[in-house]
Structure 1
Amino acid sequence: MDRFNPGSSPIHFTVVLPSSARPTREPVEQPQHAAALDIVYIEGFVAQTVIGIDAGELHEPQPVQLDLAIGVPSLRACETDRIDDTINYAAVRAELHTLLATHKVQLLEALAEQIARLLVDRFGAQWVRVKLCKPAKFDDVAAVGVIIERQRERFA
C-alpha cells in the first residue's frame, strides 16, 4: 500500500473556526523604548586586585579583566567636539584603578556592582554593562566571571 500524501489526495478539508475562537487582528502595541543611547566603551582593561573566596586569593593581587559599555543619551560631543561633553576614558580608567586598589569585597558580582554604581553616580551613565572576569582562573577554562547590566533608575 502506498503512503498517504495529502498533497495528492482529491479530498480537501477546510476548517472554519467560530469567531470566538479566531485570533484577533487588533493592532499590537509597540513597546515604549527609552531615548536612544550612545555607547562609550572600554574593552580589555586589565588590572590587579585582591578578590576571591579561596584562602590563596585573600591576600595576593590577581589579574582581572573588564569590558565596559557605558550608555549616555545622545552625546553632545558629536556636535561640540569637547571632552567635557562625553565620557572621559582616562578619568574612568583612573577611577577604576583606585576602586580596584581599595575595595573590600570578595565576589566578582559585588565588585561589578560597585563599578556599575561608579559609572552611574560619578560619570552620569544612564545604562551600563560591566563584564568582569578572572582570566585563566583554572587551567582548563579561559576565564570565569560575571556580566551585569544596570540602569540609573536602579540606583535612585
Structure 2
Amino acid sequence: MDRFNPASSPLHFTVVLPSSARPMPAPADRTEPAAALRTALDIVYIEGFVAQTVIGIDTDELHEPQPIQLDLSIGVPSLRACETDQIGDTINYAAVRAELHTLLATHKVQLLEALAERIAQLLIARFGAHWVRVKLCKPAKFDDVAAVGVIIERRRGDGHA
C-alpha cells in the first residue's frame, strides 16, 4: 500500500480556525484613555493596626467595644519625600493613626463595609490618597475562624461617598 504524500496529491485542504484560536493582530499604536489616566503610585502602608470600636449587628456587639484589625495601602503619585526627605511630602503615619483613633471612637455605623468606606474616604479627602486598599477585620470573631472582614479598594474620583 502506498503512503499518502500531500505534495503529490491534487487535493488541497484549508483549515479554518475558530476566531478564539486565531492569532490576534498586532495592536495599533494608540493609547487607551483609561490607561492614560493611570499614574504610577508609590504605596505607603500601615499594617496590623489594632484598636477597639463598637461595631456589629448583634445585640451584644452594639454596646461594648471589640477589637478590630486594619491594614492600609495608600497610593500617592511619586512621593517627593524620596528626594526631599521631608515629612510634609509624604503620608504622615502618626497623623493617619490619630485620625483613625478619632474615627473609631466616633463613627455610628454597624457594618465593617461601611466603616471601611469611611476610612477610605478619610484617606482620600484628608491625606490626598489617589488610591487606597482597606482591609478591616474582626479577629477571632468565631472560635473556629481566625478573622472575618472586608477588603475594599477606592480611587480618587470613583464617586463613592
**How much does 1:52 deviate?**
0.1
The answer to whether structure 1 residue 131 and structure 2 residue 135 are counterparts is yes
Residues in 2 aligned to 1:102 and 1:55: alpha-carbon distance in whole angstroms: 19
Q: Given that residues 44 and 66 in structure 1 are in contact (C-alpha distance below 8 angstroms), is that contact kept between their aligned partners in structure 2? A: yes
**How much does 1:36 deviate?**
0.5
In structure 1, stretches of 5+ residues that fail to align are 1-9
Q: How many residue pairs end up in the alignment?
A: 147
2:119 matched residue in structure 1:
115
Match of 1:92 among 90, 96, 103: 96
In structure 2, stretches of 5+ residues that fail to align are 7-11
- Write the deviation string for residues 98-126 of structure 1: whole angstroms up to 9, x where unpaired: 00000000000000000000000000000
- Write the deviation string for residues 8-64 of structure 1: whole angstroms up to 9, x where unpaired: xx7799963359968354213676261110000000000000000000000000000
Residues in 1 aligned to 2:67 and 2:113: alpha-carbon distance in whole angstroms: 16
Q: Secondary structure at the match of 2:135?
A: strand
Q: Given that residues 117 and 155 in structure 1 are in contact (C-alpha distance below 8 angstroms), is that contact kept between their aligned partners in structure 2? A: no
Residues in 2 aligned to 1:12 and 1:146: alpha-carbon distance in whole angstroms: 64
Q: Given that residues 129 and 147 in structure 1 are in contact (C-alpha distance below 8 angstroms), is that contact kept between their aligned partners in structure 2? A: yes
The answer to whether structure 1 residue 56 and structure 2 residue 54 are counterparts is no
- Write the deviation string for residues 123-151 of structure 1: whole angstroms up to 9, x where unpaired: 00000000000000000000000000000
Residues in 1 aligned to 2:43 and 2:130: alpha-carbon distance in whole angstroms: 10
1:37 matched residue in structure 2:
41
1:17 matched residue in structure 2:
15
**How much does 1:80 deviate?**
0.3
Q: Secondary structure at the match of 2:39?
A: coil
The range that moved more, 72-81 or 28-37, is: 28-37
Residues in 2 aligned to 1:25 and 1:70: alpha-carbon distance in whole angstroms: 37
Residues in 1 aligned to 2:53 and 2:74: alpha-carbon distance in whole angstroms: 22
- Tell me the TM-score normalized by structure 2: 0.82
Residues in 2 aligned to 1:147 and 1:82: alpha-carbon distance in whole angstroms: 31
- Tell me the TM-score normalized by structure 1: 0.85
RMSD over equivalenced CA pairs, Å = 2.6
2:9 matched residue in structure 1:
none
Q: Alignment identity in percent?
A: 71
